[in-house]
Structure 1
Amino acid sequence: MRNKRGRSSSLSGLSGVYLGAALGFLALKGATLLLNAAVFPRLRPQPVPPGSPRVSILIPARDEAHNLPLTLPGVLAQGADEVLVLDDGSGDRTAQIARGLGARVIPGQPLPPGWFGKPWACQQLGEAARGEVLIFTDADVRWHPGALGAVLQELATRKADLLTVLPRPEELTPGARILTPLVDAVVLCLLPYPLLQTRWPLATTANGQLMAFRREAYEALGGHACVRAEMLEDTVFARRLKARGGRVRQALGQECVGVRMYGGYRESVAGFGKNAVGVHLNSRVLMVTLGLWHGAVYALPWLVPARSSAWWTLRLAGLLERALVNVVTGRRTPADLAEGLLGPLTPLFALPAYRLALRRRVTWKGREYAQ
């Protein structure tokens, strides 16, 4: 009897520690989300401010014939001084479509040794551009009316050397909803905006889907050459710019800037798999540890009987988180709010992405890279 009581007491003690840690973790994330909901900058549509500097919008494109007819007209309508599309060895009609829509197309040069594809494409764009503000944006990003004015206003107001924007996910398929919106959740629940404004380089995030540089700051680091072999080139660039004293600022795209990043679950797995190691500071140990912890916080409470109100509180908090994130980013349809129901399943659906990330080589857009 004593042994049974002892085991029961030990299990009860471990359960209490687990519940306390899990609830504390979700409470910290909730507090961070509330803070960011209050202070994280949001873009608002507006015309290009009078007297704005010369602007180059730069689009690296590899096999983007399916995206450009949907996104390039919105970019061209912004009123930038030039819009350049770099055709990065596409096997489809990327160049012809971009040229036909009115963009200036630059044929990409072969990938040099020691370079990853996107940094090399961006480096060529930066060298060809004539603007004082260089805005790099992906081919799947949708620029809505007033977006350029909003970006330039935010860049000026924040006195930033780099303004990076988190586009709002649009037209998500059921499969894409599983993992794609996690980008928003990571930024808004784990990165307090005031911390991002400090001079600490590691307290920095960036999104390569839209990065607006002042030219002198960009060239001071040698352009994308400073991240030539980085899979997570956007955040690494921002950290290195901040380490040199540059001002890096972030904003939510809201109704100005949207993105349809991945068409379904498999594409999401491939995209998250290629970036997962870099997001975790290039540490596979950290990546696996946090992956297990998220499974324990979100999935485990639904796999064991709920014996107290604390268990139900943990379950409810895990369901609410993603729905609240979507409210903050402006995604408020019934389908968007229902994404919270995916919370307990997300750690399980993320397992294939972690498996890809554990490999020493990653394939992306037909190229293979060491990581």
Structure 2
Amino acid sequence: MNIIILFIIGCISGFVLFTKVCLTNDDVFFIKKHKVSVIIPARNEEKNLPFLLESLKKQTYKPDEIVVVDDFSSDKTGEIARRYGVKVIQNPPLPAGWTGKNWAVWNGFLNSTGDILVFLDADMRLAPRALEVLIKTREKCAGAISVVPYHRPERFYEKLSLIPYLLGVLAFTSPFERKNPVKSLYGSCIVVSREDYEKINGHYSVRDEVMDDMTLGKRFSQAGINVENFIGYDLVYFRMYPNGIRSEIEGFSKSAVLGMINLSRSTVALIALWFIGVFLAEFVTPLLILTRHPLIWPFLVGYIMYTLQIVYFLKYVGDYGKIIPILHFLSTVFFVAIMIYSTYQVSFKGCVYWKGRQIQVRSRRGL
């Protein structure tokens, strides 16, 4: 019975962490008040960029300008952007003390003119009313907002991201993070006024940070600017890693350990409780089935409990099909491997890798 109690506590921890903070898609008439600039840093994004630019063409609330920063792409990223008639900036050479994305975003800002800045990763895709809702939501919050997108993986290796991505969502919807006076942001989709961005000196203030989005949110909070996070659900979504499993491993491993460092202890404790329950249910249950152990039923019940909870979360978080949500232990194996690799990079090598660049982290984190 003790193991059942552990599974129940674990599931409760998951429900405490998950909050349905969806963007509100209302029909209230909205008068355009500001000039809006969409800024997109892009490095080798020929497979993603057309989807984003096509979705921006279909917005009910048209942006005044779209700035794509071609960050030394070796593919057709720049050519595709020009084909859509947007403003294309060739990113200057990366100076010492900057990470690649921060430098690209900063130069995108310097070449923009809008009163409202919408920072979007190139893998983002927007429903037709998304930009309108984002602008409305930012005005209501009177500060900076970010959105954790709904994930739509397509290939099998992409769907292995279920557990690490779900844990990331739980971290951002955690009530302890939402009530934290110093909040983080999710970097794939950030909306802020130019005035507030300039007040903290924008990405220049986080130029050497790997977790630039989380630190940027804290800079806003410390400056007295309200920060709020939402989940994209049916308005804001993305496909993170269409370029192969290597990019997926690099993407998750660069932030797995450093992301946890930036969370409150209460959030980390609840995530740990949830994950311990999942891990035990996933890997003890098969052993008990094979050995026909009498404890098989409590563990089987635990596996079913977690599976149903994961399916519920995915209704709001991502479309992972039918197989991986049931066989979620495959994603847990992937997550454990990612954590080991991320720990090795951060603690022993002092650097992480992303899109062909080596990013130093030892000196910044004191590791």
TM-score range, shorter chain: 0.7 to 0.9
Which residue of structure 2 aligns with residue 87 of structure 1?
Answer: 70
* Structure 2 residue ranges without an equivalent (≥5): 289-293, 362-367
Q: 1:195 to 1:280 in 2, by over 3 A?
A: closer
1:27 to 2, 7, 12: 12
Alignment of 1:47-66 (within 5 A): 49-66=30-47
What letter corresponds to residue 153 of structure 1 in structure 2? K
Which residue of structure 1 aligns with residue 365 of structure 2?
Answer: none
Size of the aligned set, in residue pairs, is: 342
Alignment of 1:76-225 (within 5 A): 76-78=57-59, 79-159=62-142, 161-180=143-162, 182-188=164-170, 190=171, 192=173, 194-201=175-182, 204-225=183-204
Q: Tell me the SS of whatever aligns to 1:350.
A: helix
CA distance in 2, matches of 1:226, 1:199: 21
1:352 to 337, 357, 360: 337
CA distance in 1, matches of 2:245, 2:326: 16
Q: 2:35, 2:64 within 8 Å by CA — same for their partners in 1?
A: yes
CA distance in 1, matches of 2:332, 2:36: 41
What letter corresponds to residue 41 of structure 2 in structure 1? P
1:235 has 2:220 as partner? no
1:277 has 2:257 as partner? yes
RMSD over equivalenced CA pairs, Å: 2.8
Which residue of structure 2 aligns with residue 74 of structure 1?
Answer: 55
What letter corresponds to residue 53 of structure 2 in structure 1? L
CA distance in 2, matches of 1:180, 1:64: 23
Q: TM-score by structure 1 length?
A: 0.83
1:330 is displaced (CA, Å) by: 6.9
Q: TM-score by structure 2 length?
A: 0.83
CA distance in 1, matches of 2:352, 2:76: 26
Q: 1:163, 1:248 within 8 Å by CA — same for their partners in 2?
A: yes
Higher-RCO chain (CA-CA 8 Å, sequence separation at least 6): 2
CA distance in 2, matches of 1:194, 1:296: 24
Q: 1:180 to 1:59 in 2, by over 3 A?
A: farther
Q: 2:50, 2:80 within 8 Å by CA — same for their partners in 1?
A: yes
1:226 is displaced (CA, Å) by: 1.6
Cα deviation per residue 1:305-351 (whole Å; 9 max; x = unaligned)?
A: 261653233221222232111113474xxx63543213223221223
1:366 to 349, 356, 364: 356
Q: Tell me the SS of whatever aligns to 2:179.
A: coil
1:311 has 2:299 as partner? yes
CA distance in 1, matches of 2:97, 2:328: 39
Which residue of structure 2 aligns with residue 248 of structure 1?
Answer: 227
1:322 has 2:310 as partner? yes
1:69 is displaced (CA, Å) by: 2.1
Cα deviation per residue 1:152-174 (whole Å; 9 max; x = unaligned)?
A: 11112222x11101221125212
1:211 is displaced (CA, Å) by: 0.4
Task: Tell me the percent identity.
Answer: 25
1:339 to 308, 319, 324: 324
1:290 is displaced (CA, Å) by: 5.0
Q: 1:46, 1:147 within 8 Å by CA — same for their partners in 2?
A: no
